[in-house]
Amino acid sequence: MEYITLKNSELNVSRLCMGGCPMGRYGWGTVNEDDLIETVHTALEKGVTFFDTADTYGLGQSELTLGKALGNHRKEVAVATKFGVRVGGGKTVYDNSPEWIREALEGSLKRLNTDYIDLFQVHYRDEKTPIDIVVDTLEKMKEKGYIRYYGLSNIHKDDIAELLPFKGRFVSMQDEYSLACRKNEEDMFEISKQLDVTPLTWGSLGQGILTGKYTKDNIHFGNDDRRSRDIYVNFHGDKLIKNLAIVEEMKKIAQKYNKSVAAVAIRYILDYLPESVVLCGVKRPEQIVENVEGTGWRLSEEDIKILEEVSR
């Protein structure tokens, strides 16, 4: 396992972070709680010390399961969660108000069965609450010991001007990034540099298309799996064809290094963004084992170039 200290912090974490979206047990097909708990325990055994979730994943179910799974191991790891999205009455509303931040924090602490959050992240900006109000609220929570550090999620270059006065306060930013989704690459480089934050990548396996287990003939998601919807472009139309071409090159490289295809997808990000942390959502122990194979080695410059070109 590889470890990194997040910028502007003393938070040292594994460069592979277990993502908690599937742990919410909503929209990812069949997900079993016993499997999820065993997956967390396997992650701990493999040296994973970073776990990311959000209060909206399964409307709190992900946090409940993670808190249960960590148990007495809580102080051995870093737990990241997110706030800023209110769900209720059939509506989803972005809310960064101090009132909602306090309510969201209280709920997350209770569900995670902890008295502090290592990394509390703005899930989405609400486009109305001034960032200085958000920062002031988070600083007060930090002073009281409820959170250790705070970060950003789903922001882009256009947000830099607003955030720049608070450089040094945020420790991380996360956005979608993988060999199947490089549209945010320039933004991540620019934000990481200008705001001096550590990039965390979600969707690192392209919702599973980069694991190598899918072909045009075996993609059959049920209605209980979000990937059946066209909005999850990695599994549909021309994008699917493009992704499968990328995977064919990944398989050759995986064989060369005797690694899983998923490991190659993870290794590419770790090498291409050398100060990054890769988030991967998992449902079963064998998946975290494959993902851990992405750490502790490097791709050659030639192989990075091959993957960079085929995914461009």
- Sort strands 117-122 and 91-94 into parallel, antiparallel or unpaired: unpaired
Alpha helices per DSSP H over 26-128: 33-45, 61-70, 98-112
Q: Which of 3, 57, 149, 150 is catalytic?
A: 57
Identify whether the C-beta of residue 270 lies closer than 8 Å to the C-beta of residue 276. yes
- Sort strands 3-5 and 12-14 into parallel, antiparallel or unpaired: antiparallel
**How many of the other CB atoms lie within 10 Å of CB of 258?**
8
Residue 124 known to be catalytic? no
Identify whether the C-beta of residue 25 lies closer than 8 Å to the C-beta of residue 60. no
What residue ranges in the chain does DSSP mark as E strands?
3-5, 12-14, 16-19, 50-52, 78-83, 85-88, 91-94, 117-122, 147-153, 172-176, 198-202, 277-281
152: helix, strand or coil:
strand
Q: Which residues are catalytic?
A: 57
